[in-house]
Structure 1
Amino acid sequence: MDSVSIGKGLVAIAAALAVMTGIFSTIGQGYAAAKAVEAVGKNPEANKEIRAMLILGAGIAETAAIYGMLIAFILIFVF
Structure 2
Amino acid sequence: MVAEDPQVNAISVAPGVVDTNMQEDIRTKFGANMTPESLQRFIDFHKNKELLPPEVPANLLVNLAVKGWGKNLNGGYHRIGEEALKEFQ
TM-score by length of 2: 0.34
Whose radius of gyration is greater, 1 or 2?
Answer: 1
Higher strand share: 2
